[in-house]
Amino acid sequence: MFLGDIPRRNAFRHPEQMALEDDDRTLTWLDLNRRINRLCAGLTRLGLRKGDRLGVLSIPSIEVVETYFAAAKLGLVIVPVHTGLVDSEVKFLLDDVEVAAVIADTDRAAAFGHVLTGLSNRIAVGGHDRFFPYEDLLEGMGEDEPEVRMDESDLFAIRFTSGTTGRPKGCPSTHRDWIQRSLNFLAHINHSHKDRALLLSPLSLGVGSSVLMTYSLVGASMVISPRFDASRVLKKIESAKITTFMVPVPTLFGRLLDDPAFDRTDLSSLRVVGYGGAVFPVELLVRTLERFPCRFFGVYGHLEAGGFSTYLMPDDHRIEGLSHSEREKRIEHMRSCGREALQADVRITDEDGLELPHGEVGEMVVRTEGMVADYWKRPGEIEKVLRDGWFRTGDAASIDSDGYVYISDRIKDVVRTGGMNVSSVEVESVLLAHAAVADAAVIGIPDPRWGESLTAVVVASCNPDAAIEESILAHCREQLANYKVPKKVKFIETLPKNSMGKVLKRELRLFYTGTEKVTST
């Protein structure tokens, strides 16, 4: 089976069912498949052939979905480019894979057109100067299925790592990889053609593209939200009777809960909702569970490891009807990223690769059948993160006796202070619960006494002063062991983040210490 079979089969099985909807249009599966085939003919007329790389630089849209499936039918290789990148980053990614064409939305065409001047096939959704109009590609084209010989091992996409520690690296994946990821997902969380899914995650991210293919595989109806706006999301859930969605980071639920429209929004159509990208802060998760009338699940994974490696299942989120002790144990499990997926092996190892006992913190390693075999044009690089068939995630974690995996931090971001390892994630969660803290990151600053001095870098929600600093530290002393309490609080206007929203702690360390060096764990 190939990804290009999905719209063709849905057009046969559910021809009149809504496939995609945005604010202006609705397409049935039959309509969608016909447009995809016309796009195939248009791309072929431009000279694109099997194996060519096709860059996609756009917010989520019907045209992006059409592009993904047209590429799948033609054997083109999709290269999703996150819209939050700057021009030098965009140029690096597109040059690295030597794209044959780029499809961009109007805003991205305007912002990055100058870095694409050497590319002859530039296509703009909505049109733009010096770009070929997207709809003109489809004009007058036939609707027959393209005749391209395909194999499951053919590449479908090259997605890039976020590059928090250096240049991003391309991770190639095949049609087989993508189909298997969707089947693995469905083995854990059931979906069907009766679902009405809201696409909230950027399709350039793993969560967004994974759920797109999974919803499509079962023939669900999908409503596209080009950007996350809490009021619009709530309105769309009610008006479109959405049954399911996933968010790329769980903190977005806080924005939904805090929106003035939340309490008057009818959410009764929701069946199951998911999240990925990070562990859900448990206080926010409990608040979310109490106010959303549906089941929840969480996923955790890595691009190189072939998708989602752990699942925190809907039953793991059920807290009603439990005794006090059962509830406390359930909430403790909700601090985890779940248990290993059916298709994955997850272990915790020490620096020598030896498996650690339950409860001990080490590096999380993962083994699946869908792991990336090599980075794009980076010979020898994959060996740096693979050991005896296991992918070294770089995540500091532990596994309890029930098999739940608890992410402590990135290995390089564990602070070793006074001979003790401190998870910055744990301390950050406590900081974020303080009313005066809008955002926070915890780093280690070299210290002659402690080795590293635990330092909180805080974006304050009000004008910070000595009283606010003391209030924050007092709050930490109430919630944390003494050695986990920051020695200092540094106030900053905004935290440096990459395009995926990850805090660039190396920049904070450079800013405050002039060094990137971190004590080994």
Domains observed in the chain: 5-174 (3.40.50.12780), 345-410 (2.30.38.10), 414-513 (3.30.300.30)
Beta carbons within 10 angstroms of residue 478's beta carbon: 9
Higher pLDDT, 216 or 396: 216
H-assigned helices in 14-158: 29-45, 62-74, 87-97, 106-112, 134-138
Q: How far apart are CA 272 and CA 220, in angstroms?
A: 14
Q: What tens digit of pLDDT does each residue of 322-343 get?
A: 999 999 999 999 999 999 999 9
CB 79 within 8 A of CB 97: yes
Q: Which of 445, 431, 405 is nearest to 485 (CA)?
A: 431
Tokens matching residue 109: 């065409």
517 has pLDDT over 50? no
Whether residue 241 contacts residue 267, with contact meaning beta carbons closer than 8 Å, is answered with: no
Long-range contact list for 514-520, CB < 8 A, 24+ apart?
A: 515/446, 517/446, 518/412, 518/413, 518/415, 518/444, 518/452, 519/415, 519/416, 519/444, 519/451, 519/452, 520/416
pLDDT at 499 over 70: no
Dist CA 494 CA 508 (whole Å): 11
Cα 329 to Cα 339, 388, 405, distances in angstroms: 15, 35, 14
Which residue did the predictor score with more confidence, 481 or 62?
Answer: 62
The one-letter code for the residue type at 112 is F
Per-residue pLDDT reduced to its tens digit, 424-471: 888 898 899 999 999 999 998 887 667 788 999 999 999 999 999 999
Strand blocks (E) in 131-178: 132-133, 155-160, 170-174
pLDDT of 204: 87
**At a CB cut-off of 8 Å and minimum separation 6, what does 370 contact?**
173, 177, 180, 181, 305, 306, 307, 343
In this prediction, residue 500 carries a pLDDT of: 61
What's the 3-state SS for 177-244? HHHHHHHHHHHHCCCCCCCEEEECCCCCCHHHHHHHHHHHHCCCEEEECCCCCHHHHHHHHHHCCCCE
Is 0.95 topped by the overall pTM? no
Nearest to 394 by CA among 334, 426, 348: 348
pLDDT at 516 over 50: no
pLDDT at 166: 55
Token pair of 348, please? Answer: 């915790």
Question: For residue 351, what pLDDT is reported?
Answer: 86
> Average pLDDT of the chain?
91
Evaluate whether 473 touches 486 at the Cβ level (below 8 Å). Answer: yes
Rounded Cα distance, 266 and 480, in Å? 39
Average pLDDT over residues 211-232: 96
DSSP 3-state of 396: strand
* pLDDT value, residue 162: 63
Does the pLDDT at position 288 exceed 70?
yes
List pLDDT tens digits, range 100-148: 999 999 999 999 999 998 899 999 998 788 899 999 999 999 999 999 9
Looking at residue 35, its pLDDT comes to: 98
Outline where DSSP puts E strands in 294-344: 295-302, 307-312, 339-340
Lowest mean pLDDT among 74-88, 200-214, 408-422: 408-422
pLDDT at 152: 93
Chain-centroid distance, C-alpha 313: 18
Mean pLDDT of 219-234: 96
Handedness of CA 158, 159, 161, 166 (dihedral sign): positive
Cβ neighbours around 494 below 10 Å, total: 8
Q: Which two tokens stand for residue 206?
A: 């793993």
> Picking from 54-63, 160-169, 230-239, 447-456, which range would have the lowest pLDDT averaged per residue?
160-169
Which token pair is 66? 């059409």
User: Would you call 302 helix, strand, or coil by DSSP?
Assistant: strand
Can you give the pLDDT at residue 514? 65
3-state class (DSSP) for residue 437: strand
pLDDT(510) > 90: no
419: left (phi over 0), alpha (psi -120 to 50) or beta: left
Does residue 306 sit in helix, strand or coil?
A: coil
Only one residue has tokens 């360390």, namely 509
DSSP assignment of 44-65: HHTT--TT-EEEEE-SS-HHHH
